[in-house]
Amino acid sequence: MTNKNNSNFSSFEPYVPAADEGYMSDEQIAHFKTILLNWKSELIESARASVENLQDNNEHLADPVDQASKAEELRTEMRTREREAQAIRKIDSALERIHDDEYGFCDNCGADIGLKRLEARPTASLCIECKTAEERRERLHA
C-alpha cells in the first residue's frame, strides 16, 4: 500500500493487530519504527542525490532566460530540501517519542492517536480531535 497522504515515504503493509493485541504493542512499535527509519533514509538519499545533481549542473549560462530558468529550478529545489529537512525533524521527534514510550498517544490529551492515523501520518503527535481543534484555532487567529 502506498501512502498517498505523505508521498515521501514508500510502500508498506498496513498493520493488522491480533484480536487480543493491546494498543502500541511491541509489534506495532516495531512497525512504525521501521516506517519512520525507512522514510528518513529515503529523505537523506534524496538530499544526497540533489546535492550531487547541483554539483554536476554547476554551469554558467550566458542567456538571461536560461539563467532565470536555472534560478527558479534552484529555488524550487531549495524549497523541496527545506520541506524534507522539516520532515526529518518530525521523524526524529517521533523516534524520540518511541524511545520515551510516548509514541501513539496524543501530546495534548493523552488519548490514542490510532493505527490508521499513524499509518497515514507516522509523525502525528496529536489525536484527530486535538489536531482539528488546533487547526480551528489557527484559522481564527490567521
Grid cell 484480536 in the structure block, residue: 19
Helix H or strand E segment including 117: helix 115-120
Lowest mean pLDDT among 3-7, 96-100, 110-114: 3-7
The pLDDT score that the predictor gives to residue 16 is 93
pLDDT tens-digit series, residues 49-64: 877 766 666 666 677 7
Q: Which of 22-26, 46-50, 68-72 has the highest mean pLDDT?
A: 22-26
Given the candidates 3.90.1580.10, 3.40.50.300, 1.20.120.910, 3.30.565.10, the CATH classification of the domain at 26-141 is 1.20.120.910
User: Within 10 Å of residue 32's Cβ, how many Cβ atoms?
Assistant: 23
Q: Which phi-psi region, left, alpha or beta, contains residue 104 (left: φ > 0; alpha: ψ -120 to 50)?
A: left
The pLDDT score that the predictor gives to residue 104 is 98
The pLDDT score that the predictor gives to residue 138 is 95
**Taking the model in full, what pTM does it have?**
0.81
The pLDDT score that the predictor gives to residue 7 is 45
**pLDDT tier, 32 (very low <50, low <70, confident <90, very high otherwise):** very high
The pLDDT score that the predictor gives to residue 93 is 98
